[in-house]
Amino acid sequence: MIQRQKKFPYLLLIPSMIIMIGLVIVPIVATFFLSLERYKLTEPQNKSFVGIKNYIEVLQSEGFRYSLVNTLFVVIVVIIISLICSIAVALILNKKVRLNGVLTAIAILPWALPPIVNGIVWRFIFYPGFGFMNKMLFYFGIIDEPITYTINRFMLMFIIALIVSWRIIPFCAIIFLSNMQSIPENLYISARMDGANKVQAFFKITLPLLIPSFIVVMTNITISAINVFDEVIALSGYSDIGQTLLVYNYVNTFKFLNFGLGSAITYIIMLISGIAGYFYVKNIYKPIGVRR
């Protein structure tokens, strides 16, 4: 009887394990073996094993380096904007007001919308002709002719980073908010008795105790920024100027039908995301204390 009770939880895990193996593990392994082959759907008869040649070709490609720079630019901007704004939103929502629940629901709306919808909304704002932003600038007399936002490489990347930040800030703010609400009030009372003001309490108490949330938020921000796709397509389509790593991967895999090269690109992107996640997650078990 005791043996059956011990085995029963593992039996309940079997359906989820089958799903994970069939939908995650098998495709990952199949993609890896595909990345070691020369396989184009336009030339199916020329399929052959090439080893790491696809990876070397990707790393030496000018298009890959261009896409990598674009992606890194987006990641850096998204991290800066999202961290600052997420903490600010969390501090606002942490105030004890009657409309707290309503404000939280409103704040989380951008995160609930699909990425492609967010991209389309922002496309109308930054439309090169007479989009909302240009109309506002015209109205206040700041410009005399429309600004073409999407033809400048880094301006386009900055707009994409802004859209990604706008989408993930609500989720990050909720994480910070839940962490803030778990901080004992006695710490702030003791700090006020010692003469600390609100700014000092924030930097000496709140910020150090938010480190566990920082790890989760930074992981989410970095991976979301690396895997940006829908917003780029909504703003600039598949043009070279706005090409990020995922767009570069999509073009090579599904436009040029080079599944071998595309699989290698997929693994390189996965490796980059994994390295970024590792450096954040490994700090979870470091001791955390209040700074003095």
Radius of gyration in angstroms for the set of CA atoms belonging to the chain, rounded to a whole number: 24
In this predicted structure, what is the pLDDT of residue 292?
A: 41
Q: pTM to 2 decimals?
A: 0.84
37 forms beta bridges with 49
Task: With a cut of 50, say whether residue 180 has pLDDT above it.
Answer: yes
**How large is the angle between the packed helices 153-181 and 211-226, nearest 10 degrees?**
150
Q: What is the pLDDT of residue 290?
A: 42
Mean predicted confidence (pLDDT) in 193-219: 85
Segment (H or E) for 37: strand 37-38
Mean pLDDT of 243-261: 90
Q: Which of 82, 79, 88, 86 is nearest to 202 (CA)?
A: 88
Model confidence over 57-94: pLDDT tens digits?
Answer: 999 999 999 999 999 999 999 999 999 999 998 888 88
pLDDT at residue 291, as a whole number: 42
Domain coordinates in residue numbering, the chain: 61-285
- pLDDT above 90 as % of the chain: 23
Looking at the domain 61-285, which fold is it? MetI-like fold (1.10.3720)
CA-based angle 29:31:35, to the nearest 5?
Answer: 120
Instruction: Count the residues in the chain.
Output: 292
Q: Which of 258, 275, 269, 245 is nearest to 54 (CA)?
A: 258
For 219, residues 6+ apart whose C-beta sits below 8 A from its C-beta are 276, 277, 280, 281
Higher pLDDT, 292 or 8: 8
Coil vs helix vs strand at 265: helix
4 falls in which pLDDT band (50, 70, 90)? Answer: low
What are the contacts of 107-112 at 24+ separation with CB within 8 A? Answer: 107/170, 107/173, 108/170, 108/171, 108/174, 109/170, 110/166, 110/167, 110/169, 110/170, 111/167, 111/168, 111/169, 111/170, 111/171, 112/170
